[in-house]
Amino acid sequence: MLRNEHSSEDTRNLVVLQFTDRAKRSEAEAHLVAAFVRAEPAAFESLYDAALPKTRASMALLIAYLATYESISQTTLGMKPCARLLRLCSDTDLEVRDSALFALVKISVYPEGAQMVVTPTSSYNMQQPACLLLALLAKDGSTWVAVLSIDPCESLVELASAGTTTADPEVCAAAILALTVFCIWPDGAEAVGAANMAKQNKPNITLRVVSDGALLSSIAADVPVEVTREDDDEPPSSTTTPLRIPFPFREIRL
């Protein structure tokens, strides 16, 4: 049905809904669905661009359910779905956006999957959603270790500096948010500091974690400050190096 070019959009939608439902039921069912995906990869990939939003959302959910099981994660990652899912994060339909984000979170549990999420950022129209996704994943206790293992901080510092005429302010803001969220975790704050020290042209932003666990980022252009945890008694370490942004920012709370 998926390969038949004469199949209606409604028919394609029903087919992918059935596959998605089966993949959700159990690991055994997901293995059967994965076998279909391996046999007909092009047919499934075409569903990312389906005319019906429900079909696009179901395809994203199918990827999410397959990624749930480590035993078939290689099939999921082998489809290289991240670039398409990132595009769906900008879809006009809310259900499609939510489903794509859910799938990307599931994929990012695996270090290889987290690396794939970051890889498409070479394209400017993918940088902002990728940075925002990194921020979300860095906040989640189940995914932040995998994300940190791919060492994204230097790239984020470079995007946050926005030191070139081609820089996109929205990308810069998203990168700053991701860096801020990484500082929730001591290892993340250390990685941000190390990445910042590796850059010759350092920007200048405030990163602060408040004691109740909420993350507060008060940012002012050209005002150097330190990255600290207010509930820590220890003095700031050498990793709390200032960052800089080229435009005013107010406050970010997650």
Mean pLDDT of all residues in 154-183: 73
Which neighbouring-strand residues pair with 229?
A: 209
> What are the extents of the domains in the chain?
1-107, 152-254
Residue 54 · residue 95 · CB < 8 Å: yes
* pLDDT, tens digit (0-9, with 9 covering 90-100), for 214-230: 333 333 333 333 333 33
One-letter amino acid at 68 equals T
3-state SS, residue 208: strand
CA distance 129 to 171: 8
pTM, two decimals, is 0.62
The CATH code for residues 1-107 is: 1.25.10.10
What is the per-residue pLDDT for 21? 94
pLDDT at 150 over 70: yes
**Cα–Cα distance list, 65 to 17, 34, 60, 99, 109 (Å):** 12, 10, 9, 11, 13
Q: How confident is the model at residue 133 (pLDDT cuts 50, 70, 90)?
A: confident
CA distance 240 to 236: 6
Quickly state the pLDDT bin for 113 (edges 50, 70, 90): confident
- In the predicted structure, residue 212 carries a pLDDT above the cut 80: no
**Averaged pLDDT, 6-25:** 86
State pLDDT tens for residues 84-105: 888 888 788 989 988 988 898 8
| Residue 177 confidence (pLDDT) above 70 | yes
pLDDT at 202 over 60: no
